[in-house]
Structure 1
């Protein structure tokens, strides 16, 4: 466990080290899930000589905090920076990359705007970025049902596994939803602060976050070192799509290697 950016609240953090590493990568999971869902991706990076740093975002998985809650738009990027600092302090001579999916994608984009230059490159897959719908009415501490399984994946086996995973949250707070909404508004105003190399990946048939969002934010990044890949027929969890995930892993690896040497 490590201390989060909120004093007294600890985060579960896990490190996997490899032989003869040439880079570090920090992986940030999405809303209502946990870092353990990225075991396959982590093992892929390890097999290609990258050290992998993962953590459960506050209120998720094995981390502390009220389940599925968020109260401040800075909590996500500030927590992530702590893990980045751990990776860089352990291996100061290696390039460090940041990969986030969905809400984790939002986290890494917020890191890019708030802490430019802290990593050597950022990968965001189907990121929550600039649109989040209307404000949710109700008590911020009250809970609403997690309906994220709809539009997640083209393979029903992946959806079944998602729903049966006890570590995935079945609900989250009204406060979290409205804080994320406020955070997307902040991000939209600061996209021109993204100066790091960045790779955007998005499923064209994403049923949760519109692919149009990634197409829009890509145009507003200040960095000239940017790529966007759109995958026809794939839905939200492109990293879990059985038909193409290995191809997507290889594309990410190729991009990281280009920015490592």
Structure 2
């Protein structure tokens, strides 16, 4: 396997760090990865190695406010304005770059946690750019809950400013995540049953950082939008989707993964598969059974790759 990283300019000129894993031979398909909150794309190198061995190429960007992209921005902060549309647009910029480099290769999206919410918004606009998509460690709740949370985030922005870090928001978002795993060894035991993987996260300076009030406002506003079934219906109904995660992930508790799969089916998407791993926590790719998870991922990708994809032709407006 070979690896390179490079800077990709987004549509507004923001420089995005992209990790690219590949072999010398032409890939049969490409996987682009959207990581979760308070982590970064280099953490997916182990998965990338297995995918490259199976003749996939992998591109993973550090999203705004995360990883090395934050070297040219602010850690934990998308943007001062219009952050949600910018992070969704960044996936479109990456997809466009991949298409230029591999014009014949089908493209898949693997989107985890925060990335899965951004990924759903991307699918509403650009699902015909993909062969399939995987939503990992995700969630589905009513728009009203996100609206209430947005009001709290806006109050915290008024109190602290858009770049402030609210302990109240952190508590409401993550404060209960370790309760099910007491006595917990670290603040991040909810990520994985594997202590070595948790320690890697804890000791990574680009992981576990707080996020700005403005990022929360952007994210929660986006989550209100994607939690409406009528909006999910904008996704191409023939796009293969895999919803996957652990039954003990405090983000979803398994149930809200099933709710997400149900909402996608209710939106008219025909091929939605649900995979919930018993006792798994939030990062199934870093879990104690990660080899099993990775095998299942390969099986799903190859099955989806074998399917023909024909997107509907947009109806032209009358002159």
**TM-score for both structures, normalised by structure 2:** 0.76
Q: What's the offset of the Cα at 1:247?
A: 0.9
Q: Which residue of 1 aligns with 2:235?
A: 194
**Alignment equivalent of 1:33, drawn from 32, 36, 39:** 39
**Alignment equivalent of 2:258, drawn from 198, 215, 221:** 215
C-alpha deviations, 1:31-83, integer Å up to 9, x for none?
01001111100111011110111110011111132211134321222101111
Q: Which residue of 2 aligns with 1:163?
A: 202
Q: Is 2:102 the counterpart of 1:61? A: no
Long gaps (5+) in structure 1: none
Q: Which residue of 1 aligns with 2:122?
A: 111
> What CA distance in whole angstroms lies between the structure 2 residues aligned with 1:144 and 1:44?
39
Q: Is 2:305 the counterpart of 1:260? A: yes
> What CA distance in whole angstroms lies between the structure 1 residues aligned with 2:286 and 2:296?
14
Aligned-partner SS, 1:31: coil
Aligned-partner SS, 1:207: coil
Of structures 1 and 2, the larger Rg is shown by 2
What are the within-5 Å matches in structure 2 for residues 15-34 of structure 1? Answer: 15-18=20-23, 19-34=25-40
Q: What's the offset of the Cα at 1:116?
A: 2.4
Specify whether residues 8 and 90 from structure 1 end up closer, same or farther in structure 2 by C-alpha distance, changes over 3 A only.
closer
> What CA distance in whole angstroms lies between the structure 1 residues aligned with 2:61 and 2:139?
19
What are the within-5 Å matches in structure 2 for residues 1-261 of structure 1? Answer: 1-5=7-11, 7-18=12-23, 19-63=25-69, 64-70=72-78, 71=81, 72-130=83-141, 134=149, 135-136=152-153, 137-139=155-157, 140-144=162-166, 149-189=188-228, 190-195=231-236, 196-221=239-264, 222-242=268-288, 244-261=289-306
> What CA distance in whole angstroms lies between the structure 1 residues aligned with 2:252 and 2:37?
12
Q: Check conservation: 2:192, 2:282, Cα contact below 8 A.
A: yes
Long gaps (5+) in structure 2: 1-6, 175-186, 307-319
Q: Check conservation: 1:151, 1:208, Cα contact below 8 A.
A: no
Q: What's the offset of the Cα at 1:161?
A: 1.4
What RMSD in Å do the two structures reach over aligned CA positions? 1.9
Q: Check conservation: 2:31, 2:108, Cα contact below 8 A.
A: yes
Q: What's the offset of the Cα at 1:193?
A: 2.1
C-alpha deviations, 1:149-195, integer Å up to 9, x for none?
25211222222211110122422111111221111100012122232
Q: Check conservation: 1:206, 1:236, Cα contact below 8 A.
A: yes
> What CA distance in whole angstroms lies between the structure 2 residues aligned with 1:69 and 1:143?
10
Aligned-partner SS, 1:93: coil
